[in-house]
Amino acid sequence: MKRSNRVPWLAGVLTVLLIVAAAGVYAWRAFHSPCEADAVERTSAFLVTQMTRYDEVYVSATSGTRTSIDYPVTVLQQILMDTQAVDVPACMRTAKSELVNYMGDVIRAFQAFKAGEPDATVRDLLDDSYAHVRIFISELESVRKCAPYCLPY
């Protein structure tokens, strides 16, 4: 009875594929980790600091009048631009996006207030901003828990 040469050949191919796959995963993790734990901590600290600075200016601007909010809104816009400019790990893009959306909605609310738009318009923009900041905080917590094994999305 003749033995088939296919079985050892197939086993060899599968072994090589497993080794190549393992090496590929290792190389990807070593050279292109999308969510390095240290990077997540640094970026989280930066984003939280930006949010804190933003909120301090935001709170002070709420006591202003339509004619006195120009300077605080300019400072808010600068904080927004600084936040937009920072590069974040792939797994933190959603969190950054939500923070930027929060900031943008607050600025639009102040602009609507200054323009004399109805209170309902300002309130809707602020409601949207609060939803974004809640999602930002939730995303940040999720990424901190999964780093460095988070998948970029």
Phi and psi angles of residue 113, each rounded to the nearest 5 degrees, phi first: -60, -45
pLDDT at 31 over 60: no
Query: Quick one: pLDDT at residue 111?
Result: 97
Mean pLDDT value across residues 105-122: 97
pLDDT at 153 over 60: no
Mean pLDDT value across residues 6-19: 81
Q: Does domain 34-146 have CATH number 3.40.50?
A: no
Indicate the pTM of the whole model. Answer: 0.78
Render pLDDT for 60-88 as a digit per residue (tens, 0 to 9).
999 989 999 999 999 999 999 999 999 99
Q: Is the peptide bond before 118 cis (omega within 30 degrees of 0)?
A: no
Angstrom distance (rounded) from CA 98 to CA 93: 9
Mean pLDDT value across residues 110-131: 97
Instruction: Spell out the residues 6+ positions from residue 88 whose beta carbon is closer than 8 angstroms to its own.
Output: 43, 47, 95, 96
pLDDT at 44 over 60: yes
Residue spans per domain, the chain: 1-32, 34-146
Cβ–Cβ under 8 Å, residues 41 and 59: no
Long-range contacts of 37-44 (CB under 8 A, 24+ apart): 37/147, 37/148, 39/89, 40/89, 40/91, 40/92, 40/143, 40/144, 40/147, 40/148, 40/150, 41/144, 41/147, 43/86, 43/88, 43/89, 43/92, 44/92, 44/140, 44/143, 44/144
2-6, 76-80, 100-104, range with the lowest pLDDT: 2-6
